Structure 1
């Protein structure tokens, strides 16, 4: 009986030493692939676990008529290390979140109001598209190209969640046309002609 109690005590002690309830990000530190270093627990307050940044609409007066308001570890330090984050998605009529990927996370989208046509492309190039309305959710598996488009004459709102505090983002259009990759290489790899590539680079701020 004594050896059982000793073993149980040892397990509890080891768990207490190794377990960490949270790791509120120290944003003054360096961001690493595994996240930020932890703020000392003595400096953690209740306010660190609350984020109000998703309560206001984002500014959709831009080229894509859309806005994403993130609650990732850089904006919401409490999610650092907790395998979760969120964002607010505002779409004006005609708004679009272009084809993009999140290399480090699966995304779950919940429509608060409006209509959003959303979809993704699998690694075998199968296409999955659905028009979502209030209360619908849709999942976009990690790393796959996906998009969201407004299908409403009124603004649409969605809340998205990720299974990572740092989901990562690469937007296909910007990756191709918003940098200095030579136009000749873009043309070879996309089968677009020179005029189309130059036009898209001009719209998105690319050079070369």
Structure 2
């Protein structure tokens, strides 16, 4: 009986480990695989550069060193250091984004289908929140050097809750976390989302939906 219980426990732990491994980027099979951004992109990740052509600068990036412009209706700028801008990240399962928020600025509700997100505020005060599958909201005002984590795939937002500018970095357990913003996914698609889908989804008339779509025409 005891040995059977041990076998069952080992099996459960093995399954749990397999599931956990499936929820993150694959483990690399070599020391590094610097992305060859000029090569054709396969299904997952980028082709490796020949080791002889890899340089020190492939493992260095200034992608998030400078603040981005927040002169837009949302008052936000996201500067990403993913594998497409930082080739040394290829196969390593990590990436980072710098987000600048003007006073009152909002990083609109969005999700990352391939990554959890760890937020660290560098300047100011940021209200960070996410919603669950049962529509529960978890949120917290995060201040300098404090952290807030957003589970994989859940809708979340960041709002500047302070009087001045705010800056935070978002760290991901994927080299390419992906980004889905519902408002753009509904109102700014090409080709356009069918009008009937939008009117029934938002319980609006066509004129109201058209007015909403016009606000996203420039994006």
Q: Give the TM interval when normalised to the shorter protein.
A: 0.7 to 0.9
Aligned pairs for 1:20-169 (under 5 A) are 20-169=30-179
Distance in 1 (alpha carbons) for counterparts of 2:66 and 2:177: 22
Distance in 2 (alpha carbons) for counterparts of 1:33 and 1:163: 19
Tell me the secondary structure at the aligned position of residue 186 of structure 1. Answer: helix
Tell me the secondary structure at the aligned position of residue 57 of structure 2. Answer: helix
Q: Indicate the residue corresponding to 1:192 in structure 2.
A: 204
Cα deviation digits, residues 99-140 of structure 1 (max 9, x gap): 101011111110001011110011122110111111111111
Distance in 2 (alpha carbons) for counterparts of 1:33 and 1:149: 35
TM-score scaled by structure 1? 0.87
Distance in 1 (alpha carbons) for counterparts of 2:77 and 2:61: 18
TM-score scaled by structure 2? 0.83
Unpaired runs of 5+ residues, structure 2, are 1-27
State how many pairs are aligned.
Answer: 189
Aligned mate of 1:176, from 165, 186, 210: 186
Deviation at 1:194, TM superposition (A): 2.6
Runs of 4+ in 1 over 3 A off after TM superposition: none
In structure 2, relative to structure 1, the CA distance for the partners of 1:168 and 1:33 (3 Å cut) is: farther
